[in-house]
Amino acid sequence: MRAFVTGGTGFIGGRMVERLLDDGWDVSALVRSPERAARIRDRGATLVLGDVTEPETFEDAVKGADALFHLAAYYALGVSDRELMMRINVGGTEAILRAAGAPVPRKGRGDSSVPQGLRTRGVTSREMDVLRLVGRGLTNADIAKNLFLSRRTVETHIASLLRKLDAQTRAQLMKEANTES
Ligand SMILES: NC(=O)c1ccc[n+]([C@@H]2O[C@H](COP(=O)([O-])OP(=O)(O)OC[C@H]3O[C@@H](n4cnc5c(N)ncnc54)[C@H](OP(=O)(O)O)[C@@H]3O)[C@@H](O)[C@H]2O)c1
């Protein structure tokens, strides 16, 4: 039986990997740093280099596992970086669950409030999420990663924004985003 473990370089995940190996499991461990993972590798774990915020790095390994232990977390006292914490702890957990085939609803509504000027032009909250990231110069691939959407969905939102804002180019969208923020 194969277990897939996240957080194997951490306090709890490290103990979990060792316990699973002691109990006879084959263990694949998602790790960001092979150096930090030397201990569990030497104990017999197979390392999967990746990150919980990058689904393409672990999807195949999760599919090949019989059990999943998700122990990776951005775990610190006091929230020092809320966005990072949300990306790793919430987005990362959702991505891991999706890779395991669990139904995880996507928040279709979006998180951004839409400024009045754009709301009257029909821009939705999710489109505003996308527009803000366009304004920060992110590529579609990075926007997809950031919002846990498919690239196709991001492209659809961009096409819709171009139409609603009467824009021809991404540069015009960037300008709109930066005018509004
Ligand atoms: N410690 C406790 O006493 C305790 C008690 C109850 C519950 N818990 C829960 O158990 C979980 C783990 O806690 P812990 O004490 O083991 O924390 P930890 O020692 O800080 O370990 C966190 C682990 O998560 C990994 N990680 C962080 N961000 C990642 C990312 N983006 N992609 C992949 N891996 C990532 C870290 O890898 P790197 O080595 O690459 O940083 C590390 O392996 C948390 O949810 C915590 O709330 C802990």
Q: What is the mean pLDDT of residues 49-76?
A: 94
Looking at ligand 1, which residue's alpha carbon is closest to its atom 4? 12
- Name residue 19's amino acid: R
Structure tokens at 18: 């060792």
CA of 22 to the centre of ligand 1 (A): 21
Question: pLDDT tens-digit profile of 44-57?
Answer: 999 999 999 988 89
Show Cβ contacts of residue 124 under 8 Å, excluding neighbours closer than 6 positions.
Answer: 109, 110, 114
Residue of 115 and 28 predicted with greater confidence = 28
Using the atom order of ligand 1, give the atom closest to the CA of residue 53: 31
Binding site membership of 134 for ligand 1 (Cβ less than 6 Å)? no
**Rounded CA separation 126/138 (Å):** 16
What distance in angstroms lies between residue 86's CA and the mean position of ligand 1's atoms? 14
Say yes or no to pLDDT of 75 above 90: no
Binding site membership of 7 for ligand 1 (Cβ less than 6 Å): yes
CB 85 within 8 A of CB 79: yes
Q: 25-29, 34-38, 51-55 — which is least confidently predicted? A: 51-55
**Beta carbon of 5 within 6 Å of any ligand 1 atom:** no
Mean pLDDT for the chain? 91
Other CB atoms within 10 Å distance of the CB of residue 20: 23
Evaluate if pTM is beyond 0.75: no
Q: Which residues, in sequence order, are bridge partners of residue 54? A: none
pLDDT tens track for 123-153: 998 999 999 999 999 999 999 888 888 899 9
3-state secondary structure of 107: coil
Q: Are 116 and 76 in contact (CB under 8 A)?
A: no
Q: Per-residue pLDDT for 25 more than 80?
A: yes
Residue 107 pLDDT > 90, yes or no?
no
